[in-house]
Amino acid sequence: ENRLIALLETTRPGSTFVFYYGGHGRSSGFSTLKGEWKYQNVVQIIDNHFNGERVLFLIDCCASGTLGTRLANSSNLQKKYACLASSPPYIGTSDDGDEWVLNNCWIQSLRSNHGTLSLSHIVEYVSDRTALVLGDQFTVFLSDEVDCSTCDWLPRRHKGHTGRGLMLDKLEENIPQEARVSMECNIGDTVFYKHPGGRIGVTSKVAPPCWFSATVSAKIDDGNAFALEVFHPSKNFKWRVDSVPRSQLINSIYMGQLWMLPRAFRKAQVSLAKEFKYIDFSVPVSTVLQVSESGNTREAKVIDWRDFDWRAYLRNLDESNTSLQTVGAHVPVHWVHNDKEALLPLEHVLSPEVTVAAFLQSPASVRTGEESAWAREALVKSMESSGKIIANGTAQYGDSPLISYDPEGDKWFPCKALDPNAISLGVLASHAEFTMPGMYCPVCYENGEWALAPMQYIRKKERIRDVSTSAKLQHRTHDTVQRTEVQEGSVGYASPESFFVFMVGHCEDSPEGRDDQGDAALYQEYLASGVPPKQVVYMKDRQCTMANCEQNLEKLLEETRPNTTLVFYYGGPAKPSGFQTLNGEWKYHQVVKMIENKFLGERVLYLLDCDSSGNMGRYLGLERNDKASVCFASTPPYRNATDEGDEWVLSNSWIKSMRCSDGKLPLSTVVELLCDRCALVLGDQFTVSYWGDVDFSAGDWLPKRPQGKLRGPLAWDRLDDHVPTEARVSNDCAVGDFVVFKHLGGKLDDRYVPPGWFFASIVSQSEDGTLLRLKVSSPLTEEQWTVTEVSRDRLLNIFWMSQLSRVPKKFGVAQRALAKQFKYLDYSLASLTEISLRDKNSIRDAVVADWRDFNWAKFLRKIEKHNHLDGPFGAHICIQWKHNGLEEIVSVKNIQKPSYNTKVFLESLDSFDDEERRLWVRKALLESLTTSGKVLCSADSKVSSSKLSVYCPDEDGWYDAESLDPDAMPLDALTKHALYTLPGFYCPVEYEDGETDLVPLQHVRGRRKPILERKHIAP
């Protein structure tokens, strides 16, 4: 700004000012290194300080056409403006082809100008090159006073220094084959039309030769020509063209476009729909409305929905916990009287007269059970207001295999049509990603992801050879990610200067390979990627005290700024509740709280290489929900990492990805690399959790490497060739057994689940046993989903990835102490479930605590002190009171909300003798086991042999054992089931050294021969 003002003040009357910007852009401004330079601020500075008459903007960035829109909507501008933009308003530029089209075209024009080259001629040259080479829509705004036929917008070259002149190829000869419009183009489809220049339609407005999006309104001459309705993106109006030859048009797939959606837009639309409200897109931007508000008439101006702050709207909604009472159509407006933005019900508009579609009268008229139907209807009304209609693809295509075009990746993907009534609200709201009106069809891709696609982007699969496009058919597998909201300015995050890095390497016990592929190498890699040294903090070995870590993290956070990403790395020892520093435990929730409260940027990436690191994911977003946070953890919650193999898998895989980062490497591809290497090299389950608007298709979560330093595309051995022989699933694996399944990434119940390996139970199998149907479980959310027709050779056996949970100290002793008072722990209520409990004479709120976080040693001291635990017999749960934060064990009989079916266990002990009391103690432990989804059985009845071989995950070996009668096993063995996470049948066994154990039936085999000499393992 300072340099711009200084230059402007040296200008003189009669001069022309040229403003060029090339780099990262948003819909609202230029993304500079230290913040966003708003378009309106740039225009205001130039208009106020420039002493000449004409201003030429040359803008080469995403959404650059929005600057033209700002000029068109500005009043009282004193200068004549021409804005030449490489992309339309709110739309990103293509990543393919020649990235310098605008620059080199302008340079060629400068070299060819001998005083006869008009602005109109130059615009046509740049517009054709941008459309036909890149598939982008060059956008031009001209003030009404600008004459584009004049030849004085470029400096005139001296005689002898001019080029050959600009040569424009004939349009029909220059359109690429894959860009042409096919004979199957229908009325209502979108095409791109080249305006020849001059007057627009029957209006007095003029425009230079440019490509514009248009809708086919009629077919002429058997489809060889079309009547069109053309749309001007900067001046926001339409005009009709009566007849255009089909050979002079470009298809919408070659010029495929997606809006740069505002953050949280889709989430906001779903929230509105659930309150029976929707956005009406039909009211023109800048319309001045007279509005009735609280008995007064106020003035408001309609603003573009893409400029509205939807994140602030959601925050206000959360804070107030109230909603507007008026249902139906709303528009985003700017109030003139207080300079604030708001969502305005169209019902309150007095003038001008606005047509509002018939909808719901009030929330009170919605009958019980009809809420979801009315929410869906609200989103359908919103779609219709933008000129879109949802269609039933199954009615048109039936069960035929289809392909759908994704403009973001420029690829075709196999899919099938869905019934519109079956899709979620989030999928319905995704229509706003697309610019074109017309019919839209919900589809389901191969990986289970649901989406809404323009009917124009859907073909029958057998017609793939006839598709007129440069895009290729792809299978939606590991190279495919879910299309989420395209976050504005996401390209800018790839700049190395936008990263802040905090690293803790408490790894002095693992020096081997550390400098080449461990934490020290990762530190050097961030510096080599161009992240400024002052933005990288590395705590190493003896520096890793808790106070040191906290102070240095806080100091770094104070240096951060908006539009940045924080990377937090920890490698070293850890507990399920936090990192083990040199002099204390740094709790996970303390780390997250500090970052979410003090980090000034928008995105946080956690890289955790330690035991139980998956627990960190549970705390994301609990303090503040306005950050997009991702946690990459080398282990699942409450589990240890393996001690074998390459100990630096996470760090060296991340380093490998950084060296291949060209700004386009999808985060989902990096996730898949990490998951595969952790699973197939170490036998560990890599875990990913996230919070907020995280786009896994974005390529800006790693610093963009300079072109000359890239190591090529990220590649690794794929699944089929890389599964170790000992990790494969055997042919005797049966229904009810567990395996490890690779999810390829995609949506599940409107939430994206990144690629990863998950434990799954076999539900059924084909007659020959080669294909399996699985029920898959997530270690973080406890949700399950079903997949079908999975080949055995794409699975891992559970012995390869078998892991034991980290059970709290004194847990087994505490369970037996509970059982001796005829009480037991109920595992069936999910942790973090909010409940209301009867506490003496009042009802209090609490949350179910995870039993693995509970302080059982303290609980035992309480029992020993009072020699008794108050409360009825039967099921108990761990809870944390909301009013004081204290933990307690309480009876499920005290639960008031939600409704809970309390199982009758034991009412009285009055008539029991000692033997009966001992039986009820055992029954209590058995009931506890049952609530965790486990069933006690005898190995004899399942394996047909009392001589067994049993797999021990903690030693990764098989040991000789004998089957025990479940009724004869000691009480301490009954509590050992908690070491295992999988449900199903469990068998009591006795090893050769006399130790008893309770193990999953799948870990038991009939003995063939002695495998290992059993050594005593301390319980």
pLDDT at 486: 29
Q: How far is 17 from 30, CA to CA, in rounded Å?
A: 19
Closest CA to 802 of 688, 726, 697: 726
CA distances in angstroms from 142 to 48, 146, 713, listed in the order given:
19, 6, 42
Cα 340 to chain centroid distance, Å, stands at 30
* 881-885: long-range pairs with CB below 8 Å, 24+: 881/844, 881/845, 881/846, 882/844, 882/845, 882/846, 882/847, 883/844, 883/845
Amino acid (1-letter code) at residue 502: F
How far is Cα 757 from Cα 759, in angstroms, rounded to an integer?
7
This prediction's pTM: 0.54
CA 538/CA 551 separation, integer angstroms:
13
Query: In angstroms, what is the C-alpha Rg of the chain?
Result: 33
Residue 20 confidence (pLDDT): 97
**Alpha-carbon distance 948 to 969, whole Å?**
16
List of the chain residues with pLDDT < 50: 97, 463-491, 645, 1008-1019
CA distance 666 to 476: 14
How far, in Å, CA of 787 to CA of 783, rounded? 14
Among candidate residues 617, 609, 615, 685, the one with its CA nearest the CA of residue 648: 609
Residue count of the chain, please give it: 1019
The answer to whether the CB of 323 falls within 8 A of the CB of 317 is yes
Q: Give which of 1016, 903, 914, 1019 is closest to 970, Cα–Cα.
A: 1019
Residue 64 structure tokens: 């650059």
d(CA 317, CA 310): 10
Question: Do 969 and 920 touch, CB atoms closer than 8 A?
Answer: no
pLDDT of residue 864: 81
pLDDT at 360: 80
CA distance 117 to 166: 9
pLDDT at 220: 92
**DSSP code string of 190-212:** EEEEEE-SEE-TTSS-EE-SEEE
Please state, in angstroms and rounded to a whole number, the distance separating the CA atoms of residues 381 and 251.
Answer: 28
**What letter represents residue 428's amino acid?**
L
Half-sphere exposure of 904 (CA within 13 A, CB side): 2
Q: What are phi and psi of 733, to 5 degrees?
A: -65, 130
Interval 813-867: pLDDT, tens: 999 999 998 999 999 888 888 899 988 888 999 999 999 989 998 888 888 887 7
pLDDT for residue 1010: 37
What distance lies between CA 158 and its chain's CA centroid?
55
Report whether 251 contacts 258 (CB < 8 A). no
